[in-house]
Amino acid sequence: MSKINNSKKKSSHLIEIDQKLQESFRQKSWDETITKDSWMIFKVMAEFVDAYEKLAKIGPCVSIFGSARLKEGDQHYEMAVEIAQKITKIGFGVITGGGPGIMEAGNKGAKLGGGKSIGLNIELPFEQHFNPYIDKSYSMDFDYFFVRKVMFVKYSQGFIVMPGGFGTLDELSEALTLIQTKKIGRFPIVLVGTDYWTGLIDWFRNSLLEAKMISEEDLNLFRIVDTADEAVAHIKAFYDKYAINVNF
């Protein structure tokens, strides 16, 4: 009986997805498009205002990025817990994307360290869920990736980038681009895991730099480390020299 019920649930879920796909491909009239875009502006504004009001009170924080697919017990998950816990001991809160994997590990470490634990969740088709280690007053849900990315950059004084996929690369690229183009001030970016990141950095050097798509000094915008102590030490050393400010 339970197998039949599960089969029905899967079927109804697939039908719902199919209906959404059909609606997305339906040719919309010009008036429909304009009306939808106009109302979307208000929704975007509401997300910005709500996030600004909540996050203005959090104080200095470091964002921790990485894969949502890693589980407790994985070496990268456990290192993210350790990094987050040690980050709180030097006076920073922790911001993550609010979901599972490395995000959960970052919030867990912040909780263990007694620091602020912020989660900026994103609504996805496969229902990314909030992890249980986020402070209730700093748990936020976003519809728009670009609004969420603004919050990561505006309210973070450093980025810890653990192994991850396309989303992690997107967040890393956003920070590097904004610093490179001087749209925001310099802040520390730490890539954790030499083995994981070496291929990307080699491509930076052998393709981007060789083709003059980036400059030699752009390779100094980040630091690669292999331990929690190294990651935290780099953040601390940076702010022993420079004042902490909101990024823009």
Question: So what's the pLDDT on residue 25?
Answer: 57
- Each residue's pLDDT tens digit in the chain (248 positions)? 554 555 555 566 666 656 665 665 556 665 566 667 788 899 999 999 999 999 998 999 999 999 999 999 999 999 999 999 999 999 999 999 999 999 999 999 999 999 999 999 987 766 567 899 999 999 999 999 999 999 999 999 999 999 999 999 999 999 999 999 999 999 999 999 999 999 999 999 999 999 999 999 999 999 999 999 999 999 999 999 877 776 66
CA dihedral 21, 27, 32, 34 (to 10 degrees): 100
Strand partners, 62: 94
Q: What are phi and psi of 92, to 5 degrees?
A: -105, 145
Question: So what's the pLDDT on residue 12?
Answer: 65
Q: What topology does CATH give the domain 57-241?
A: Rossmann fold (3.40.50)
CA dihedral 56, 93, 181, 240 (to 10 degrees): 110
Question: So what's the pLDDT on residue 21?
Answer: 53
pTM over 0.85: no
Q: Return the ∠ at Cα 133 (arms to 127 and 137), rounded to 5°.
A: 90
Question: So what's the pLDDT on residue 129?
Answer: 78
User: Which residues, 6+ apart, have CB-to-CB distance to 130 below 8 Å?
Assistant: 98, 99, 119, 121, 139
Q: Under a CB-based contact definition with an 8 Å cutoff, are residues 95 and 189 in contact?
A: no
d(CA 55, CA 93): 11
Question: So what's the pLDDT on residue 30?
Answer: 56
Q: Which position has the token pair 């290192």?
A: 79
Indicate the domain borders of the chain. Answer: 2-45, 57-241
Strand order in the sheet with 159-161: 139-142, 117-122, 93-96, 61-65, 159-161, 189-192, 223-225
Q: Under a CB-based contact definition with an 8 Å cutoff, are residues 110 and 116 in contact?
A: yes
Buried b (16+ CB within 10 A) or exposed e, 206-239: eeeeeeeebeeeeeebbbbbeebeebbbbbbebb
Q: Under a CB-based contact definition with an 8 Å cutoff, are residues 122 and 142 in contact?
A: yes
